[in-house]
Amino acid sequence: MSITGLPPYDSTNIFARILRGEIPSRKVHEDDYALAFHDINPQAPVHVLVIPKGPYVSHADFSVNATEAEIAGFWRAVGKVARDLGLESSGYRILSNMGADGGQEVPHFHVHIFGGRRLGRMVPRPEA
Ligand code: AMP
């Protein structure tokens, strides 16, 4: 199914290049369905990205076109990464930006995991 709001998958995007090993990442987890690595510009003491191995532009694309195994495998990996990072007792936030209003910069579906401090409001208020 085609996805409105974003271009087709671009295999030159930076996360595709990380998946192919063409550029380095600080990897924290890898399995058949997901790769997790530290964000290069962390917004919290812990800021890790989890990406599916398949070529999905966004959550909109992934939620429609990924297989049941890919969806289950990916979300289990998100939970495992947060658990392995030691975030469960203090808590954490997961977030996925989608499209223009979501502020998505990299067109390969990814989930941010933030933790290590009180994270404040869920969505910032608009600038006055
Ligand atoms: P988003 O705005 O949701 O698309 O987030 C993209 C994220 O990717 C940002 O938080 C960037 O800091 C992060 N990022 C971009 N390039 C890299 C890279 N080479 N390694 C790790 N994180 C990156």
> Taking 80 as the threshold, does the pLDDT of residue 3 lie above it?
no
Which top CATH class is 14-115? alpha beta
| Count helices and strands in the chain by DSSP H and E runs | 4, 5
Q: Is-contact 22 31, C-beta < 8 A?
A: no
Atom of ligand 1 nearest to the CA of 97: 3
86 token code pair: 């030691």
- C-beta of residue 106 within 8 angstroms of C-beta of residue 39: no
Per-residue pLDDT band at 122 (split at 50, 70, 90): confident
pLDDT tens digit sequence for 40-99? 999 999 999 999 999 999 999 999 999 999 999 999 999 999 999 999 999 999 999 999
Residue type, 97: N
**How many other C-beta atoms are found inside a 10 Å radius of the C-beta of residue 102?**
14
Task: Please check the confidence at residue 4 and state whether its pLDDT lies above 70.
Answer: no
Q: What is the pLDDT of residue 124?
A: 79
CA 40–ligand 1 middle distance (angstroms)? 6
